[in-house]
Amino acid sequence: MLKRELYVTDDGSNSIYLPEWNEYYHSKKGAVQEAMHVFLDMGMHVSCELARSRATQQFMQSDSEVRKRTPEKLSISILEYGLGTGLNAFLTAQHAPDGVHINYTAVEAYPVTVDEIKMVDYGNKLGDNALYMRMHELAWESPQALTDNFTITKLEQKFQQIDAKEEHDVIYYDVFGPRVQPDLWSIEMIQAAHDALKKDGILVTYCAAGFVRRNMIAAGFTVERLPGPPGKREMLRGRKG
């Protein structure tokens, strides 16, 4: 197990530093800022708007009897590569839009410890320590309701074991960077992520490396270069056609 140390990022939020790899769990420029921009604003919220748009179109095309019924609650499915400290999952639970249920699957081969969860202290810094701690206390390997509109399934497995097929609307691709784990950015890994998405599903990642973009295109994604979070010029978003 690699040694993990506390690191305070530029927005005042904490992260974990791996000295043997000289690698951080989150952006040094701001852990919370990065998570909000890359994964929530460019991923989850975009997918929710797409789901609302599809539901509206279906409603307008339905017959009068169907229109009289109470509309069903929208739901989207998110797959996270790398639960880590739980920051992305926690923020998603906190900011899930009204009227949308989030089914969240997080894959993590090496879960952080209870001491490390307390060390990063996201619960207190983001105003709901009880919710943050409860998320980490929930059982693994099966769906668990965290809030009325957020259900999480935590899977202790390697990313290479992900074999989902057209199950998810959004992927948070938040693995360690290609400098330290280039195999996680291979065409095979990106193809598996593409296969896990439904039609029109999106993958968002903080990484903007040229070879990653080319692998995403080769896997079948339509790729956008988007403005990155503070301290980073660009990020990538891929859409499955």
Q: Where are the domains of the chain?
A: 30-240
User: How far is it, in rounded angstroms, from Cα 159 to Cα 4?
Assistant: 21
18-55 pLDDT per residue, tens: 999 899 899 888 999 999 999 999 999 999 998 888 87
The pTM is what?
A: 0.92
Q: Which CATH class is domain 30-240?
A: alpha beta
Q: Specify the higher pLDDT residue, 60 or 237.
A: 237
156-191 pLDDT per residue, tens: 999 999 999 999 999 999 999 999 999 999 999 999
Neighbours of 204 (CB within 10 A): 25
- In the structure, what pLDDT confidence band is assigned to residue 111 with cuts at 50, 70 and 90? very high
194-223 pLDDT per residue, tens: 999 999 999 999 999 999 999 999 999 999
